[in-house]
């Protein structure tokens, strides 16, 4: 399969599923799709990442071995579509054993979540990642709850407000159990 040519056709779900099927065959194929995505210009780069998170939605995440590279790409991303797609992909592949990368991811997600210039979709994925990390690193729950309470006071966009309230409710419930 010529990944780059397939991704250049369009951004349909069908194309994403075809590339996801190819990527799901082996770690080598997964890595190949990721590598092509990294090296390609927009929109091919975010379309490739989309295919990888479509794969993660339909089967157990198989790209955890690339977690450090996902974070490196996030550091270098200058395109909102690519950043959004990377965050969604990362949300399926969080690896806490890579402490230095996890630390960067925490800082980046808190920064994106609290920035007034961040797009709503990016904030939603950043919040999702932060919540998933607190499921593993439970001592971060109070900090996320405090930040989220502050954001919800200032937030006017319904999608972020709704998702934020849902996460905050879960956090408060979990914090009461400790």
Q: Report pLDDT for 178.
A: 66
| Least reliable range by pLDDT among 17-21, 30-34, 59-63 | 59-63
Domain hosting 40: range is 1-73
Per the structure, the count of domains in the chain is: 2
Predicted structure pTM score: 0.92
Mean of all residue pLDDT scores within the chain: 94
CA dihedral 15, 112, 38, 27 (to 10 degrees): -70
**146-156, pLDDT tens digit by residue?**
999 999 999 88
Q: How many Cβ atoms sit within 10 Å of the Cβ of residue 154?
A: 8
Q: Which secondary-structure segment (H or E) carries 45?
A: helix 44-58
Is residue 78, in this structure, part of any structural domain at all? no
More confident residue, 60 or 37: 37
Is residue 27 in a domain?
A: yes
pLDDT band at 41 (very low <50, low <70, confident <90, very high): very high
The answer to whether residue 82 is domain-embedded is no
């Amino acid at each position: 399969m010529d990944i780059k040519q397939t991704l250049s056709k369009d951004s349909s779900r069908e194309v994403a599923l075809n590339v996801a099927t190819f990527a799901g065959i082996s770690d080598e194929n997964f890595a190949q799709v990721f590598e092509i995505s990294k090296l390609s210009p927009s929109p091919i780069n975010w379309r490739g990442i989309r295919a990888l998170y479509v794969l993660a939605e339909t089967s157990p995440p198989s790209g955890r071995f690339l977690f450090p590279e996902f974070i490196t790409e996030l550091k270098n991303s200058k395109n909102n579509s690519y950043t959004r797609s990377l965050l969604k992909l990362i949300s399926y592949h969080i690896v806490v054993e890579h402490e230095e990368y996890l630390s960067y991811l925490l800082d980046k997600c808190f920064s994106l979540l609290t920035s007034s210039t961040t797009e709503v979709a990016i904030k939603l994925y950043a919040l999702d990642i932060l919540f998933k990390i607190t499921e593993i690193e439970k001592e971060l729950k109070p900090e996320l709850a405090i930040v989220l309470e502050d954001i919800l006071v200032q937030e006017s966009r319904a999608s972020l407000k709704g998702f934020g309230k849902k996460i905050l409710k879960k956090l408060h419930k979990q914090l009461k159990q400790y």
